[in-house]
Amino acid sequence: MILRELILTNFKNIESARLEFSPKINCFLGDNGMGKSNLLDALYFLSFCKSFTGAQDGMLVRRGESFAMLRGRYARRGLDEEVAAAVQPGHRKSFKRSGKPYKRLAEHIGAFPLVLLSPADMSLVGGEPAERRRFIDQIISQRDTPYLDALLRYNHALEQRNKLLKQESGDNTLFDALEAQLEIAANYISRQRKANIARLQEIFTPYYQAIADCSEDARLRYTGNDYSDEGGLAEHLRAMRQRDRLLRFTASGPHRDDIEFSLDGMPVKRSASQGQTKTFTSALRFAQYELLRESLGLNPLLLLDDIFDKLDAGRVRRIMALVGGSGTFGQIFITDTNRKHLDEIVADIPGSDDGGAYRLWHVEQGVFSTIEQ
């Protein structure tokens, strides 16, 4: 899959931009705060219908303006397709694919797959379990539509049960119905998480060792609970109602699960250096990319946002070789403040001498200027 062109109006600090991209590597150079990451966020928004920063939709509209518009032209499975989005504070956002609006935005997830590496990935290791659940949920949701449906059903039933727990007296029949819904969805969620993490582990370890240039044993382990000995999740929740009433929330289920990250048997969170942690998260994202590619049968977009920070020269060099010369990845978008990194990556691209393998832009205050090759 290739993104041929992006058109933005009033998106974050970008008043207006129209960019035509190389099918291989696209580099954005500039100081921090100039709009490089905002450009990547626009690509992310067109794939996931939301910002990667977690900002509310209204915050994506340029200050002083009443709307934002985004349009991407893609080449996908031999066809030209367009995705158009509009954001207006106080209104529901609009998404159209080839001119047709979606009935449910969930239908869009996975159609235009994307993987993002960013400085925020450090929170995958040091942050709360919710960060790691979002990581695996995003991977599976892009390759498995029933999983996203199960996740939405589970979250809706969970919200209803939590509301019921806060009432002085809850209807036991309603509790039973919600807990049965939770179990059905939870069984599918847990099964898919375990299977996907097992496959991700197989892909991840070689990437980690290639970047680190060592044989450290890098591991992922899903820590979800198995309620089969208790008759299933519904039976467990029924037995835990009084406890959950006191807590005023549901304390058991896939929404409480986690993924453990370890190096040579030690938790990454407590024992790894910043360089090891950045290597770990970079390898996770590269493994995510390969897993999506093998299951979807097309190359996701790969977004690399300031990825060289906190890495020594050797790790930077090995990542650049992976990105530029391996041939594993499809279309790539890179931001950096250091042109040296970008030039070295470009130099490793097969066919870079013809000038069509890459494009470079300078970014200043939301304005994108082509850098001559």
**With 80 as the cut, is the pLDDT of residue 237 above it?**
yes
- Which H helix or E strand runs over 111? none
Average pLDDT for residues 22-45, to the nearest whole number?
A: 92
Give a three-class secondary structure readout of 316-359.
HHHHHHHHHHCCCCCCEEEEECCHHHHHHHHHCCCCHHHCCCEE
Q: How confident is the model at residue 226 (pLDDT cuts 50, 70, 90)?
A: confident
* pLDDT score at 93: 93
* pLDDT score at 326: 62
Query: What is the average pLDDT score of the chain?
Result: 90
Structure tokens belonging to residue 180: 């049965």
Which pTM was predicted? 0.90
pLDDT tens for 267-316 read: 999 888 888 899 999 999 999 999 999 999 999 999 999 877 777 778 88
* pLDDT score at 219: 93
Nearest to 21 by CA among 296, 373, 370: 370
* pLDDT score at 261: 95
The two counts, helices (H) then strands (E), for the chain are 11, 15
Structure tokens belonging to residue 207: 């990437």
Average pLDDT for residues 76-95, to the nearest whole number?
A: 93
* pLDDT score at 227: 83
Position with higher pLDDT, 24 vs 185? 185
* pLDDT score at 317: 80
* pLDDT score at 368: 93
**With 70 as the cut, is the pLDDT of residue 222 above it?**
yes
* pLDDT score at 348: 61
pLDDT tens for 152-169 read: 999 999 999 999 999 877
What one-character DSSP code corresponds to residue 307?
A: T
Phi-psi sector, 256: left (phi>0), alpha (psi -120 to 50), beta:
alpha
**pLDDT over 70 percentage in the chain:** 95
Exposed/middle/buried for residue 64 (C-beta within 10 Å: 0-12, 13-18, 19+): exposed
Q: How confident is the model at residue 31 (pLDDT cuts 50, 70, 90)?
A: confident
